[in-house]
């Protein structure tokens, strides 16, 4: 085996090692991007669920206050809408 063959094999081995390192780095970056996207989705759904829970509780409390104040025209509507919004909030949490 001559020096030229040795250098050619060394260069091919070095190129192969570089390609493997690039492939591993690309796989790592794809996994990291996927994890970041799923994390952003979970954060968004958590914020959305929190918003709907607060809105639903607000409607339930307002409906209860109107119910005890004897304003029967709005209390049932607010109570039902509060329950529906809380249901939507729990659905958003279930999707997470």
Segment 66-81, tens digit of pLDDT: 777 776 677 777 788 8
The domain total for the chain is 1
- CA separation, residue 95 to residues 9, 43, 48, 49, 92 (Å): 54, 12, 11, 10, 5
- What mean pLDDT comes out for the span 36-63? 86
**Predicted confidence (pLDDT) at residue 36 exceeds the cutoff of 90:** yes
**Summary mean pLDDT of the chain:** 83
Residue 56 sits in which domain range?
Answer: 3-95
Tell me if 67 sits within 8 A of 30, measured CB to CB.
no
Torsion on CA atoms 50, 54, 57, 63, rounded to nearest 10: -140
Angle at the Cα of 55 from the Cα atoms of 61 and 44, rounded to 5 degrees = 150
């Amino acid at each position: 085996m001559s020096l030229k063959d040795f250098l050619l094999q060394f260069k091919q081995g070095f190129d192969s090692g570089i390609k493997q390192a690039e492939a591993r780095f690309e796989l790592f970056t794809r996994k990291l991007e996927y994890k970041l996207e799923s994390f952003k989705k979970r954060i968004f759904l958590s914020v959305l669920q929190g918003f709907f829970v607060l809105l639903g509780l607000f409607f339930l409390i307002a409906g209860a206050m109107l119910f005890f104040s004897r304003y029967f025209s709005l209390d049932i509507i607010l109570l039902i809408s509060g329950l529906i919004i809380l249901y939507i909030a729990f659905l958003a949490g279930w999707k997470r």
